[in-house]
Chains A and B, each alone.
Chain A
Amino acid sequence: MPVTERPKPSLVPEYCKGCGRCVSVCVKGCIAFDDEINPATGVVPVVIDLEKCNGCGLCIEACPEPYGLRALDQGEDYELQDPAKLYGARLSEAPEPEDIPAQRIPLPACQPLVIKGNYAAALGALLAGCRHVYGYPITPSTEGAELMSKLLPRLDGVFLQAVSEVATVNHMYGTGGAGLPCLTFTSSPGFSLMLEGISYMAGAEVPAVFINIMRGGPGLGNIAPEQSDIKLACRGLGHGNTHAICLTPSTPQEMLDLTILAFELSFKYRHPVILLADGYLGQMTGKVQLPDHMTKPGIPKWAVYGDLAHRKNLINSIYLDEHDLERHNEYLCGKYEAMQAEARAETFLCEDAELIVVACNTPARAAKGAVQELRHQGLKAGLFRPLTVWPFPVEQLKAHLGPGRRLLVVEASAGQLEDELRLALSHAGLPVPPVAHVRRMGGMLPQQDQIVAAATAILA
Chain B
Amino acid sequence: MSSVFYEKFERHAHGEGLKGQSTHYCAGCGHGLVHKYLAEAIQELGLQDDTVMVSPVGCSVFAYYYFDTGNTQAPHGRAAAVAIGHKMANPKSTVISYQGDGDLASIGLAETVATAQLGVPVTVIFINNAIYGMTGGQMAPTTLMGQSTSTSPDGRKLINGQPIKMAELIAQLDGPVYVERVALYSAVDRKKTKKAIKKALKLQHEGRGYTFVEVLAECPTHLKMTPDKAEQWVKENMTPIFPLGVKKDVVAEPWFHLEAPGFDPGTLLQAVGASATGAERACQGFPTHLHAHDVSLKLAGAGGDGAQTAAMLIATAAINEGFDGTHIPSYGPESRGGTSYADVHVAEEEVLNPASPNPHILLAFNAPSLAKFGGTVASGGTILYDSSVAKAVKPLDSTVKTVGVPFTEIAVGLGKLVVKNIVALGALQAATGLFPKETFLAAIKQALREKANLVPLNEKAFQAGYDAARRAMAARG
B64 within 8 A of A: yes
> Which residues of chain A have C-beta atoms less than 8 A from B287's C-beta?
none
**Chain B residues near A458 (CB-CB < 8 A):** none
Binds B, one of A64-72, A402-410, A411-419, A431-439: A64-72
Report yes or no: B81 in contact with A170, Cβ–Cβ below 8 A: yes
* Set A155, A285, A305: member contacting B267, Cβ < 8 A: A155
- Give A219 to B1 CA distance when docked, in angstroms: 54
Choose from B84, B93, B277 the contact partner of A307 (Cβ within 8 Å): B93
B83 at interface (Cβ–Cβ under 8 A)? yes
State whether A156 and B352 are in contact (beta carbons under 8 Å apart), knowing that A111-B276, A114-B325 are contacts in the complex. Answer: no
Question: Shortest Cβ distance from B325 into chain A, in angstroms?
Answer: 7
A204-229 with Cβ < 8 A to chain B? 204, 223
For chain A, the bracket of interface size reads 35 or more
CB distance from A242 to the nearest CB of B (A): 14
A60 to chain B, nearest CB (A): 9
A373 CB → nearest B CB, Å: 10
Query: Which residues does chain B contribute within 8 Å of A314, judged by CB atoms?
Result: 11, 64, 71-73
Cβ-defined contact, B272 with A17, below 8 A: no
Q: Which of B25-33, B149-157, B241-249, B405-413 contacts A (4 or more CB under 8 A)?
A: B25-33
* 0 or 1 for each of B245-280: is its CB under 8 Å from A? (1 = yes): 000000000000011111101011101111111100
List B contacts of A287 (CB < 8 A): 319, 324-325
Q: A17-B27, A108-B269 given as contacts; is B70 within 8 A of A306 (CB)?
A: yes
- Given the complex of chains A and B, what is the CA–CA distance between A83 and B333 in angstroms? 69
From 70 to 101 in chain B, residues with beta carbon under 8 angstroms from any chain A beta carbon are 70-75, 78, 81-90, 92-95
| Chain A 154-195 interface 0/1 with B at a Cβ cutoff of 8 Å (1 = within) | 111110101110110011111111111010000000000000
Return the CB mask of B288-332 against A: 1 if under 8 Å, else 0.
Answer: 000000000000000000000001100110010000111111011
Q: Evaluate contact between B85 and A155: CB separation under 8 angstroms.
A: no
Provide the bound-state CA to CA distance between A377 and B103, in Å. 64
User: Which residue of A15, A132, A173 contacts B88 across the interface (Cβ within 8 Å)?
Assistant: A132
Inter-chain contacts of A19 with B (CB < 8 A): 27-29, 220, 227
Given contacts A25-B187, A65-B22, A105-B265, contact A70 B110 (CB under 8 A): no
Encode B1-29 as 1/0 by CB contact (under 8 A) with A: 11001111011010100101111011111
B265 to A106, Cβ gap below 8 A? yes
- Cα distance A127–B357 when bound, in Å? 36
The reply to whether B276 and A108 form a contact with Cβ atoms under 8 Å apart is yes
- Give the shortest distance, in Å, between A56 (CB) and chain B (any CB): 9
Chain B nearest CB, measured from A327 CB (Å): 12
B352 surroundings in chain A (CB, below 8 A): 365-366, 368-369, 372, 448
A160 to B110, CA, bound (A): 16
Q: Which of A90-98, A339-347, A384-392 contacts B (4 or more CB under 8 A)?
A: A90-98
CB distance from A221 to the nearest CB of B (A): 12
Q: Which residue of chain A has the shortest Cβ distance to B24 in the bound complex?
A: A320
User: Is A54 an interface residue, CB under 8 A from the partner?
Assistant: no
B44 CB-CB contact with A under 8 Å? no
Cβ 8 A contact of B275, one of A111, A175, A179, A280? A111
> Are A171 and B84 interface neighbours, CB within 8 A?
yes
A123–B11 Cα gap in the complex (Å)? 41
Least distance between B106 CB and chain A CB atoms (Å): 14
Cβ contact within 8 Å between A163 and B111: yes
Q: Which residues from chain B contact A107 at a C-beta distance below 8 Å? A: 265, 269
- A369–B49 Cα distance when bound, in Å, is 59
Q: Contact string, A1-32, partner B, CB cutoff 8 A, digits 1/0?
A: 00000000000001101111101110000000
The complex places the Cα of A255 from the Cα of B351 at a distance, in Å, of 16
Residues of A within 8 A of B388 (CB): none
Which residues of A lie under 8 Å from residue B258 when comparing CB positions? 156, 158
CB-based contact B85/A176 at 8 Å: yes
Provide the residues of chain A in CB contact with B312, threshold 8 Å.
114, 285
Interface centre among B25, B316, B332 (most CB of A within 10 A): B332
Q: Are A162 and B32 in contact (CB under 8 A)?
A: no
Q: Which residues of A contact B26 (CB under 8 A)?
A: 17
Determine which residue in B260, B316, B354 has the highest number of CB atoms from chain A within 10 A of its CB, and name it: B354
- Shortest CB–CB separation between residue B311 and chain A, in angstroms? 8
The answer to whether B61 has its CB under 8 Å from any CB of chain A is: yes
Known A-B contacts A61-B190, A151-B272, A179-B89; the reply to A313 vs B71 at CB < 8 A is yes
Contacts A114-B315, A175-B85, A310-B70 given; indicate if A286 touches B325 (C-beta within 8 A).
yes
Contact check, A311 vs B68: say whether CB atoms are below 8 A apart.
Answer: yes
Cα of A281 to Cα of B352 in the assembled complex, Å = 12
Query: Are B18 and A311 in touch, CB under 8 angstroms?
Result: no
Tell me the complex Cα distance, A34–B220, Å.
19
Give B338 Cβ to nearest chain A Cβ, in Å: 16
Chain A CB within 8 A of B416 CB: no
CA A151 to CA B262, docked complex, whole Å: 11
Among residues of B, the one whose C-beta sits closest to the C-beta of A373 is: B352
Q: Which of A78-116 contact B (CB under 8 A)?
A: 83, 87-94, 103, 105-114
Q: Are B72 and A174 in contact (CB under 8 A)?
A: yes
Query: Which among B70, B258, B351 has the highest number of chain A CB atoms within 10 Å?
Result: B70
Does B73 lie within 8 Å of A315, measured CB to CB? yes
Q: Which residues of B contact A447 (CB under 8 A)?
A: 353, 355, 357
- What mask results when residues 178 to 192 of chain B are scored 1 for a CB within 8 Å of chain A, else 0? 000000000100110
Minimum CB–CB distance for B256 against chain A, Å:
12
How far, in whole Å, are A369 and B347 apart by their CA atoms in the complex?
A: 12
Q: Are the C-beta atoms of A111 and B68 separated by less than 8 Å?
A: no
| Residue pair A64, B32 in contact (C-beta under 8 Å) | yes
Known: A20-B226, A66-B35, A306-B93. A91 touches B354 (CB 8 A): no
Contact indicator B21/A15 (Cβ below 8 Å): yes
Q: A178-B85, A280-B328, A306-B92 are in contact. Are A89 and B8 (CB under 8 A)?
A: yes
- Least CB distance, A206 to chain B, in whole angstroms: 9
Within 8 Å of chain B (Cβ to Cβ): is A317?
yes
B82:A177 contact, CB within 8 angstroms? yes
Q: Which residues of chain B have C-beta atoms less than 8 A from A274's C-beta?
A: none
> What is the CB-to-nearest-CB distance from B149 to chain A, in angstroms, rounded to a whole number?
22
Residue of B nearest to A252 (CB): B326
- A197-B75, A223-B331, A294-B268 as given contacts; A64 in contact with B89, CB under 8 Å: no
A103 to B265, CA, bound (A): 12
Complex: how many Å from CA A41 to CA B5? 22
Q: Are B48 and A311 in contact (CB under 8 A)?
A: yes
Chain B residues near A132: list those with CB within 8 A. 85, 88-89
Cβ distance A357 to chain B, nearest Cβ, rounded Å? 12
B86's partner among A68, A156, A304 (CB-CB below 8 A) is A304
- Complex alpha-carbon distance, A172 and B71, angstroms: 16
Q: Which residues of B contact A127 (CB under 8 A)?
A: 268
**Would you call B354 and A365 a contact (CB within 8 A)?**
yes
Given contacts A175-B88, A445-B355, 9 further A-B contacts (CB under 8 A): A14-B22, A64-B35, A66-B1, A155-B261, A173-B81, A174-B86, A307-B70, A307-B92, A368-B352
The 8 closest A-B pairs by CB, nearest first: A174-B85, A306-B93, A64-B32, A178-B89, A19-B28, A369-B352, A163-B114, A170-B81
Can you offer 28 A-B residue contacts whose CB atoms are under 8 A? A19-B220, A19-B227, A87-B21, A105-B263, A108-B276, A113-B272, A160-B84, A167-B81, A167-B114, A170-B81, A170-B82, A171-B84, A173-B72, A174-B83, A178-B85, A182-B89, A196-B75, A285-B326, A286-B315, A287-B324, A304-B72, A304-B86, A305-B90, A307-B90, A311-B48, A318-B62, A365-B353, A445-B355
